[in-house]
């Protein structure tokens, strides 16, 4: 057996392993609740904070006073507490169904009681459900549904008795029950318990109730003053989070309509037809494409790096589940840079013998046209991906996992953590992923497929590489749009800029939502 044959056998083996590993990861993501639902709750919590703004609730002699009722209805709706409770209960119902489904799947597969991963998944979902019930009870109590709130909290206490991580919930719920039944068993630790285990509007309303019961008017006045400042800031954040996407949606829709009209009129001379159907002169074959994709990307990302990081964690006796937000972000940043460096190195050596490359390969040039394509691609992606995401949500419900960096972005208040997240998502990811999936993969596939086929296949692989089953469809659409921009502009800067703008918009929104829920 010669060296070439051995290399091909190894490539086949690695391909089988990579496909198997990716399939398992996608299946595991199906067992996870979607992070999108948690993100929506963060926005709901912002709305709850905004309800406390006195300009929404008090009459004013100001000539512009009639603006505030209209603004209130637009931002928080007519019944914000009722709407918030409904959203919390819907998520709770969905998560409970997911939990039951996972247990049912494990029973059918004969894995019940034997799989630590299944147990961890169900316990994680159970913890989220407990958090939801804690807050649902406060929403019920604030709407005068005291008996319903007490029933919700009592059921939570009963569940917490059988959980190793249920102590904090047990203590916090006990304090809330005492507050809303006006019992005299409130202790000096009640305030500490509320501050430690509740946040945002829920913490404020619980502390307000505590100060009322304990007859502490000075503390109550200070709390209300603090909440007014927070509520005013939250209103500004809601305006920012709500208005900017709508503006982008409108501009993107108009841009799509305009470009489509121009395509119908000018046909091959239209902007959308620029470089249409023109592939790349690819000097290498499918084997080189496979080496870069399987060895340089999937094997490094899903096999080599986890083993290396696992050895490092074991060597320094680090428990990854106990890392704080900053440590998680630093860990993710180092891991991502490691993947990028190894993958680009393998890419370089895989195609080195074909240097110098034909024109248009890995072209990166700052021009007005490249910037226009990047910004235009981003704006047109907004309405298209939103529509697909709404359809996708109906298909998947609340299962399918999501990007693990999103909850970290929501919870992180550390400026260094935010900076590292920005570097990872908005600079490193666009450069590396566009280089691999558009610069190399898409262009290489045009040797075997028409341009539209290369755009589709590279977009699908790009989506699968993110290992989130619920996001495969919208990410495929986004990947195809990135590929469309690259094939038309023939400039990696365009797709990198579009990618960076997309990730930046998502990350900034998460930062805003997270900062309003403290």
Q: State the residue for tokens 């891991």.
A: 335
Q: What is the pLDDT of residue 163?
A: 64
* Strand, coil or helix: 399: strand
Lowest-confidence region among 187-191, 232-236, 361-365, 465-469: 187-191
Q: What is the pLDDT of residue 439?
A: 95
Q: Which of the residue ranges 116-130, 194-208, 478-492, 496-510 has the most confident prediction, judged by mean pLDDT?
A: 478-492
Q: What is the pLDDT of residue 107?
A: 57
Instruction: Provide the phi-psi class of 163: left if phi over 0, else alpha when psi is between -120 and 50, else beta.
Output: beta
User: Helices 368-396 and 492-515: crossing angle, nearest 10°?
Assistant: 50
Lowest-confidence region among 119-133, 201-215, 311-325, 452-466: 311-325
Q: What is the pLDDT of residue 61?
A: 47
Contacting residues for 196 by C-beta, under 8 A, at least 6 apart: 168
The answer to whether residue 114 scores a pLDDT higher than 70 is: no
Q: In whole angstroms, what is the distance from residue 498 CA to residue 248 CA?
A: 14
Q: What is the pLDDT of residue 48?
A: 84
Please tell me whether the peptide bond between 75 and the residue prior to it is cis, using omega within 30 degrees of 0: no
3-state SS of the chain: helix, strand, coil percent to 5? 80, 0, 20
Backbone angles phi, psi at 404, to 5 degrees: -65, -15
Backbone angles phi, psi at 366, to 5 degrees: -80, 110
Q: In whole angstroms, what is the distance from residue 509 CA to residue 341 CA?
A: 29
Report yes or no: 381 and 252 within 8 Å, Cβ to Cβ: yes
Q: What is the dihedral of CA 228, 232, 233, 236, to 10 degrees?
A: 170
Mean pLDDT value of segment 77-104:
80
Burial class of residue 282 in the structure, from the number of CB atoms within 10 Å of its CB (0-12 exposed, 13-18 middle, 19+ buried): buried
Nearest CA to 137 among 202, 69, 68, 197? Answer: 202
Q: In whole angstroms, what is the distance from residue 80 CA to residue 44 CA?
A: 9
User: Per-residue pLDDT tens for 237-274?
Assistant: 888 877 888 899 999 999 999 999 999 998 888 999 88
Q: Which of the residue ranges 29-43, 53-67, 105-119, 287-301 has the most confident prediction, judged by mean pLDDT?
A: 287-301
Mean pLDDT value of segment 442-463:
95
If you average pLDDT over every residue of the chain, what do you get? 83
Give the residue with greater pLDDT, 485 vs 306.
485
Backbone angles phi, psi at 186, to 5 degrees: -65, 130
Q: In whole angstroms, what is the distance from residue 356 CA to residue 255 CA?
A: 39
Q: In whole angstroms, what is the distance from residue 304 CA to residue 118 CA?
A: 25
pLDDT confidence of 300, banded at 50, 70, 90? Answer: confident
Question: Residue 33 pairs with which residues in a beta bridge?
Answer: 399
Neighbours of 156 (CB within 10 A): 24
Q: Any alpha helices (H) in 187-216, and if so which ranges? A: 190-197, 200-213
User: Per-residue pLDDT tens for 382-436?
Assistant: 999 989 988 887 776 655 555 666 666 666 567 888 888 889 999 999 999 999 9
Nearest CA to 438 among 478, 483, 480, 473? Answer: 483
Contacting residues for 489 by C-beta, under 8 A, at least 6 apart: 274, 275, 369, 370, 373, 374, 495
Question: What HEC string does 457-493 produce?
Answer: HHHHHHHHCCCCHHHHHHHHHHHHHHHHHHHHHCCHH
- The domains of the chain are located at 32-235, 239-515
Q: What is the pLDDT of residue 312?
A: 80
Q: In whole angstroms, what is the distance from residue 496 CA to residue 213 CA?
A: 57
For the record, the structure tokens of 131 come out as 């958090």
| Cα end-to-end distance, the chain, whole Å | 64
Give the residue with greater pLDDT, 172 vs 383.
383
Report yes or no: 495 and 486 within 8 Å, Cβ to Cβ: yes
pLDDT confidence of 461, banded at 50, 70, 90? Answer: very high
Q: In whole angstroms, what is the distance from residue 299 CA to residue 291 CA?
A: 10
Give the residue with greater pLDDT, 384 vs 113.
384
Q: In whole angstroms, what is the distance from residue 141 CA to residue 181 CA?
A: 11
The answer to whether residue 288 scores a pLDDT higher than 60 is: yes
């Amino acid at each position: 057996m010669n060296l070439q044959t051995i290399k091909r056998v190894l490539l086949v083996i690695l391909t089988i392993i990579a496909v198997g590993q990716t399939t398992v990861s996608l299946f595991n993501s199906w067992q996870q609740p979607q992070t999108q639902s948690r993100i929506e709750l963060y926005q709901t919590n912002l709305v709850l904070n905004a309800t406390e703004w006195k300009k929404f609730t008090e009459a004013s002699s100001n000539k512009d006073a009639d603006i505030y009722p209209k603004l209130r209805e637009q931002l928080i709706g007519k019944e914000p507490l009722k709407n918030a409770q409904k959203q919390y209960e819907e998520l709770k119902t969905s998560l409970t169904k997911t939990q039951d489904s996972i247990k049912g799947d494990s029973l059918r597969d004969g894995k019940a009681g034997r799989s630590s991963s299944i147990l961890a998944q169900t316990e994680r979902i159970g913890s989220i459900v407990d958090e939801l019930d804690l807050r649902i009870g406060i929403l019920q109590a604030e709407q005068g549904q005291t008996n319903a709130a007490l029933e919700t909290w009592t059921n939570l206490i009963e569940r917490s008795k059988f959980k190793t991580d249920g102590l904090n919930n047990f203590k916090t719920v006990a304090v809330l029950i005492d507050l809303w039944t006006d019992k005299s068993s409130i202790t000096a630790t009640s305030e500490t318990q509320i501050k430690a285990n509740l946040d945002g509007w829920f913490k404020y309303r619980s502390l307000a109730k505590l100060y009322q019961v304990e007859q502490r008017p000075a503390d109550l006045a200070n709390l209300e003053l603090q909440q007014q400042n927070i509520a005013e800031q939250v209103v500004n954040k809601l305006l920012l989070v709500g208005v900017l996407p709508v503006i982008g949606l409108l501009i993107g829709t108009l841009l799509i309509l305009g470009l489509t009209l121009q395509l119908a009129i000018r046909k091959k001379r239209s902007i959308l037809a620029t470089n249409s159907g023109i592939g790349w002169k690819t000097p290498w074959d499918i084997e080189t494409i496979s080496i870069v994709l399987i060895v340089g990307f999937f094997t490094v990302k899903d096999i080599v790096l986890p083993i290396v990081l696992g050895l490092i964690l074991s060597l320094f006796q680090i428990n990854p589940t106990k890392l704080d937000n900053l440590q998680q972000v630093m860990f993710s940043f180092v891991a991502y840079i490691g993947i990028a460096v190894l993958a680009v190195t393998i890419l370089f050596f895989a195609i080195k013998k074909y240097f110098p490359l034909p024109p248009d390969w890995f072209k990166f040039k700052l021009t007005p046209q490249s910037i226009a394509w990047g910004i235009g691609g981003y704006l047109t992606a907004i309405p298209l991906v939103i529509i697909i995401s709404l359809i996708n949500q109906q298909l998947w419900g609340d299962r399918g996992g999501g990007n693990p960096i999103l909850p970290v972005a929501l919870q992180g208040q550390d400026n260094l953590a935010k900076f590292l997240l920005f570097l990872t998502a908005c600079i490193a990811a666009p450069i590396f992923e566009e280089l691999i999936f558009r610069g190399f993969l898409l262009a290489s596939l045009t040797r075997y497929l028409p341009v539209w086929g290369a755009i589709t296949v590279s977009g699908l692989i790009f989506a699968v590489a993110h290992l989130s089953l619920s996001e495969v469809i919208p990410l495929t659409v986004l990947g195809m749009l990135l590929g469309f921009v690259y094939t038309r502009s023939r400039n990696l800067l365009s797709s990198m800029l579009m990618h960076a703008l997309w990730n930046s918009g998502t990350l900034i929104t998460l930062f805003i939502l997270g900062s309003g829920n403290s």
